[in-house]
Amino acid sequence: MTGRPPLTVMLVAAEASGDDRGAGLARALKHRLGDGVRFVGVGGERMAAEGVQSPFDIAEISILGLLEGLMAYPKIIARVKDTVALAAREKPDIAILIDSWGFTLRVAQQLRRLDPGLPLIKYVGPQVWATRPGRAKTLAKAVDHLLSIHAFDAPWFEAAGLPVTFVGNSALTIDFSGADAARLRRRIGAKPKDQILLVLPGSRPGEIDRVMPAFEDAVSLLKAERPRLHVVVPTTRTVAGLVKARVAGWPNRAHVIEDDQGKLDAMKAATVALACSGTVTTELALAGAPIVVGYRLGPLTYAIVKRLIHTPYITLFNIAGQAFIAPELVQEDCTGPKLARQVALRLDDAGLRARQVAGQYAALDKMGRGGPDPSEAAAEAVLKLVKAR
C-alpha cells in the first residue's frame, strides 16, 4: 500500500471477550497490511496493546441485566455518542462492531446516520437460535455483514437478508502448549497431589455482585470438609479490584490470579472449576477442566428471559452437545450448598471428572475445535469486504 494513506479500521468492543476478539483481529490485519493499516475505536487493554486507544474505560458499559441496563442507560447513550464522535473525527474506512448487542447496535445505527456509505460489520451475532429471533431482522437493517462464531448462525441471519461469513470462535484457539500446571502449583504452594478448585465469578461487575455470594458459600462449605483444598480465583482487569476486595474478606485463603500466563497455568492445574456462565467455560473446557456452571440474573431480567429463551442450556458446549455435559445451576438453584455438592461430587470421583472432560471435548469438536484461526479468517473477510467496496 505504498503511497496510499493507511486503511483506517474502527474496532468497537465493550467487554472482555470482545476486547480479546478485537485484539486478535487487529493483529491479523497488521500481519497482512503492516504499516498500511491504522486503528481507531473502543476497547480494553488487549486492544490498546494493538494500537486501539479507547476514549473511555469499557468497564463503564459492561452491563448485563434489564434493570442494570435501564439504570446505566444514560451512561451507555453518552458513550455511544463518544464513539460516534470518534468516528466523525477519524473517518474510518470500515467499522467492525464486536458482540455487546445493546451498545454496538446503537453505535451501528448512529454510524449509519453519520455516514451511510461506511461499511459496517458485526462480529458475533446475537444468539437468535436461543432467544429473540427477531433480532436477526434488526441486525440486518443496521449492518452490512455478519462475522459469525457459530456454524449454525448463518441460516437465521441469511433468512433476514444479512450476508454471513463463519469465522469460528477465538475461544477455541487458545494455546495451552505453554501452560504449566506444575508452575501454578509452585506459585501457590500446592503439592503434586493436592486438589485445586478454580473459582471464576464473571467478568462484569453485575455478575460478581449476583454470583459471588453463592460461590463464596460453596467455597466455605468445601473448605470446611477439605481444609487442604487450594482455591484459585483467576480474574480480568475490568473486575480485578472488585474480586480482590471480596476475596480479601474470605475466612480461608484464596489466590487471586490476574496475569494471562497464570490464568492459563491455573486452568491446566484445576481439579475442578466453578465458573460463571460465559466465554470462560469454553476456555476451561479446552484446558481439560471439569466445570460446574453457576449463574444468576436480576429477578426482573430472569422473569423476562425465561419466557423468551428456547433452549434449556446456557453453556455453549452444552448447547452444542444438546446435553448437560457440565451441570448448570441457574437462578434459585445457584446456591452455596447446591454448587458445593456438584463440585464435591467431582472432587471425589476421578472417573466422573474424566467422563465429563471427554464429553466437553466431544462438544468442542462439534463447535469447531482445531479449525482455522478465527482472527485470520475474520481479517480475510474484512479485507474482502473492503476490496468489494
- 176: region left, alpha or beta (phi > 0 left; psi from -120 to 50 alpha): alpha
User: Which cell is 62 given?
Assistant: 459492561
Phi, psi of 169 (to 5 degrees): -100, 120
When pLDDT is averaged across residues 65-90 and rounded to a whole number, the result is 83
Per-domain boundaries in the chain: 7-168+372-388, 181-367
Per residue in 243-296, pLDDT (tens digit) is: 999 999 998 899 999 999 999 999 999 999 999 998 899 999 999 999 999 999
pLDDT, the chain, mean: 91
Share of the chain above pLDDT 70, in %: 95
Per residue in 162-202, pLDDT (tens digit) is: 999 999 988 888 889 999 999 999 999 999 999 999 999 99
When pLDDT is averaged across residues 52-62 and rounded to a whole number, the result is 86
Q: According to the model, what pLDDT value does residue 140 have?
A: 97
Q: Which residues contact 71 (CB under 8 A, 6 or more apart)?
A: none
- Amino acid occupying residue 374: P
Q: According to the model, what pLDDT value does residue 67 have?
A: 52
CB–CB of 195/271 below 8 Å? yes
Name the nearest CA neighbour of 357 among 314, 321, 311, 312: 321
Q: Helix-strand-coil percent breakdown of the chain, rounded to 5?
A: 55, 15, 30
- Domain 7-168+372-388: which CATH number of 3.40.50.2000, 3.30.365.10, 3.60.21.10, 3.90.1150.10: 3.40.50.2000
When pLDDT is averaged across residues 106-122 and rounded to a whole number, the result is 97
Class for the domain spanning 181-367:
alpha beta
Q: How many other C-beta atoms lie within 10 A of the C-beta of residue 114?
A: 13
* Residue keyed to cell 450448598: 337
Q: According to the model, what pLDDT value does residue 299 have?
A: 76
Q: Which residues contact 152 (CB under 8 A, 6 or more apart)?
A: 129
Q: Which residues contact 379 (CB under 8 A, 6 or more apart)?
A: 25, 28, 29, 31, 32
Q: In whole angstroms, how far apart are CA 224 and each of 64, 227, 368?
A: 33, 6, 40
Per residue in 357-371, pLDDT (tens digit) is: 999 999 999 888 888
Is the pTM here over 0.85, yes or no?
Answer: no
- Amino acid occupying residue 280: V
Per residue in 215-239, pLDDT (tens digit) is: 999 999 999 999 999 999 999 887 8
